[in-house]
């Protein structure tokens, strides 16, 4: 008799449901073990009569000394636990800067100005046009007023004006939202990578809002697009040692003094991608703020690859051959970012992934070491750990690479793509525009977990995990209020200009 071919396993069994069953079993294994044991113990106790129960109680021979000693031990352990555990850090609310319509830079305007600026040769103009066509940016991104001049006017005064416009607008909004007075702010942290004036930007905020003299202020510079999460980490550490306090974190990048007017291609990319933006975030460790806060900080993991020379120089501010200062982006940038991401998720994975995913990763790792090193490494399913992803909108290639490596759906990276399209790369504040997009879509529910991933010069990859404390109502104001109904939009691979 002719042998019948066995049915293909992948088509005869719905592997999706097999994996779901495995995940449910492993993630609830303690429940499956303990519930039957507790049920059996309860049945045994129920079978005992009153006399047997009384006899069992007397056999324990508990006297007053035993009871008091046990109570003291329980109280002592509870005291140690509650005094040693870290203080919770709540995100009370945040606000974003929305650029005025007069700062809008459509592609046609950008290219017309580039042609009229005598510093650029034709090859530089054509290169910038090529980048814009593939950038994923839309027609509504904005540049500060000083860059609209022909040629641009990147003076110190113009840079200060941009900083005041962005920072004060965001801080005004977050103070109004939370009802916090400037004199009630305990910690102030301002991060801006490339503009570091004297007095500092944090001093500028203190002067504007007349904050009290003992406010703990910090100004972070030179730390790239991931500085926003570094500021959150610094605020968290300060809130651990200062009880009953709050922290105001301001994240921005001042574009005015950093416009590149030369012709080196690796330095022209920032002109095409970076746009004006800023965020102000209020954090608190006060228990009374828990009821009105939006999120609770669960984890924050920082990875620094600066010990490697290539990683250190892949985003580097320097002068070109003609003495023009700009940011040089290395061709190895994406590969270095990938290595930094792998190191970061190796650390954060055990903190957030369910047991089922960790076991699969462990079994695959052992199999590659013991049986076959050519086995494909198992990439954990981070969708099991998070409902929302905020990937730094540094550029289209960054989002594409993370979507591919983490096996995310189009909806998971929608906030990042739409933020890049509407606002461009706003550096350290881009994560907050993405979070606001999710809220504006009405998708943020109580209990949802958010993963923020940021990359920065140095080279750094930082992650923050937030848990939503209450269902967030769709905002009636903010940068997305007048355009959220139009999103998501289709973003073609190439926009012919």
CA dist list (Å): 469 to 92, 287, 450, 466 = 10, 13, 12, 9
- State residue 108 phi and psi, 5-degree precision: -60, -40
Share of the chain above pLDDT 70, in %: 89
Question: Which of these, 292, 233, 192, lies nearest to 464 by C-alpha position?
Answer: 233
pLDDT in tens, the chain (497 residues): 444 544 444 444 454 545 555 555 556 666 767 777 887 777 777 777 777 777 766 666 656 666 677 777 787 777 776 666 689 999 999 999 999 999 999 999 999 999 998 789 999 999 999 999 999 999 999 999 999 999 898 999 999 999 999 999 999 999 999 999 999 999 999 999 999 999 999 999 999 999 999 999 999 999 999 999 999 999 999 999 999 999 999 999 999 999 998 999 999 999 999 999 999 999 999 999 999 999 999 999 999 999 999 999 999 999 999 899 999 999 899 999 999 998 998 889 888 988 878 787 777 777 777 777 777 766 788 998 999 999 999 999 999 999 998 889 999 999 999 999 999 999 999 999 999 999 999 999 999 999 999 999 989 999 999 999 999 988 878 999 999 999 999 999 888 76
At 391 the pLDDT is 95
**Are 459 and 316 within 8 A, CB to CB?**
no
**Are 490 and 336 within 8 A, CB to CB?**
no
Distance from CA of residue 223 to its chain's centroid? 15
Q: How many CA atoms lie within 13 A of 180 on its CB side?
A: 29
Q: Convert the chain into a string of H (helix), E (strand) and C (coil).
A: CCCCCCCCHHHHCCHHHHHHHHHHHHHCHHHHHHHHHHHHHHHHHHHCCHHHHHHHHHHCCCCHHHHHHHHHHHHHHHHHHHHHCCCCCEEEEEEECCCCHHHECCHHHHHHHHHHCCCCCHHHHHHHHHHHHHCCCCCCCECCHHHHCCCCCCCHHHHHHHHHHHHHHHHHHHHHHHCCCHHHCCEEEEECCCCCCCCCHHHHHHHHHCCCCCCEEEEECCCHHHHHHHHHHHHHHHHHHCCCCEEEEEEECCCHHHCCCCCCHHHHHHHHHECCCEEEEEEECCHHHCCCCCEEEEEEEEEECCCCHHHHHCEEEEECCCCCEEEEECCCHHHHHHHHHHHHHHHHHHHHCCHHHHHHHHHHHHHHHHCCCCCCCCCCCHHHCCCEEEECCCCHHHHHHHHHHCCCCCCCCHHHHHHHHHHCECHHHHHHHHHHHHHHCCCCCCCCEEEEEEEECCCEEEEEEEEECCCCCCCCCCCCCCCHHHCCCCCCCCCCC
Q: How far apart are CA 170 and CA 182, in angstroms?
A: 13
At 205 the pLDDT is 98
Tokens of 103: 């700062």
CA dist list (Å): 306 to 194, 222, 338, 339, 456 = 18, 13, 14, 12, 11
At 2 the pLDDT is 47
CA dist list (Å): 437 to 182, 190, 392, 480, 481 = 27, 23, 13, 7, 9
Q: How far apart are CA 361 and CA 27, in angstroms?
A: 15
Q: How many CA atoms lie within 13 A of 497 on its CB side?
A: 21
- State residue 465 phi and psi, 5-degree precision: -115, 125
Residue matched to tokens 């203080």:
87
Tokens of 463: 């992650």
Report the chain's terminal Cα–Cα distance, integer Å: 67
Tens digit of pLDDT for each residue in 18-36? Answer: 555 555 555 666 676 777 7
Instruction: Please list the active-site residues.
Output: 225, 304, 388, 392, 421, 425
Q: How far apart are CA 344 and CA 226, in angstroms?
A: 13
At 288 the pLDDT is 92
Q: How far apart are CA 197 and CA 152, in angstroms?
A: 20
């Amino acid at each position: 008799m002719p042998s019948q071919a066995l049915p293909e396993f992948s088509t005869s069994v719905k592997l999706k449901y097999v994996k779901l069953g495995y995940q449910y079993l492993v993630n609830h294994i303690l429940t499956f073990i303990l519930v039957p044991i507790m049920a059996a113990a309860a049945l045994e106790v129920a079978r005992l009569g009153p006399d047997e129960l009384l006899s069992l109680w007397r056999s324990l021979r508990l006297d007053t000394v035993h009871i008091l000693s046990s109570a003291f031990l329980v109280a002592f352990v509870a005291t140690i636990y509650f005094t040693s555990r870290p203080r919770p850090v709540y995100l009370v609310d945040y606000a974003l800067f929305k650029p005025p319509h007069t700062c809008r830079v459509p592609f046609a305007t950008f290219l017309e100005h580039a042609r009229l600026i005598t510093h650029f040769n034709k090859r530089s103009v054509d290169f910038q046009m090529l980048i814009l066509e593939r950038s994923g940016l839309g027609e509504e991104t904005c540049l500060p007023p000083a860059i609209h001049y022909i040629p641009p006017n990147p003076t110190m005064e113009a840079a200060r004006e941009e900083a005041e416009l962005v920072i004060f607008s965001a801080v005004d909004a977050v103070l109004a939202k939370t009802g916090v007075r400037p004199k009630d702010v305990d910690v102030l942290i301002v991060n801006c990578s490339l503009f570091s004036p004297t007095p500092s930007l944090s001093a500028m905020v203190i002067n504007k809002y007349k904050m009290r003299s003992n406010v703990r202020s910090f100004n972070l510079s030179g730390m790239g697009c991931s500085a926003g999460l570094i500021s959150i980490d610094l605020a968290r550490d300060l809130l651990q040692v200062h009880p009953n306090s709050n922290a105001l974190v301001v994240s921005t990048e001042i574009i005015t003094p950093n416009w590149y007017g030369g012709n080196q291609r690796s330095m022209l990319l920032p002109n095409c991608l970076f746009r004006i933006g800023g965020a102000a975030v209020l954090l608190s460790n006060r228990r009374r703020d828990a009821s009105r806060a939006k999120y609770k900080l669960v984890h924050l993991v920082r990875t620094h690859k600066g010990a490697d020379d290539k990683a250190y120089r892949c985003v580097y501010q320097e002068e070109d051959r003609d003495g023009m200062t700009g940011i040089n982006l290395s061709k190895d940038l994406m590969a270095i970012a990938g290595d930094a991401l792998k190191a970061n998720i190796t650390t954060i994975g055990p903190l957030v992934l369910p047991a089922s995913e960790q076991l699969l990763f462990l079994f695959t790792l052992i199999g590659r070491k013991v049986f076959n090193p050519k086995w494909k490494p198992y990439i954990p399913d981070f969708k099991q750990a998070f409902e929302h992803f905020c990937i730094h909108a540094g550029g289209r290639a960054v989002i594409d690479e993370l979507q591919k490596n983490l096996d995310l759906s189009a909806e998971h990276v929608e906030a990042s793509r739409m933020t890049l399209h509407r606002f461009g790369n706003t550096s350290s504040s881009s994560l907050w525009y993405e979070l606001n997009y999710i809220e504006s879509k009405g998708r943020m529910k109580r209990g949802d977990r958010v993963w923020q991933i940021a990359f920065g010069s140095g080279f750094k990859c930082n992650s923050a995990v937030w848990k939503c404390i209450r269902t967030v109502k769709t905002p009636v104001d903010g940068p997305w209020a007048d355009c959220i109904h139009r999103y998501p939009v289709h973003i073609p691979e190439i926009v012919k200009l």
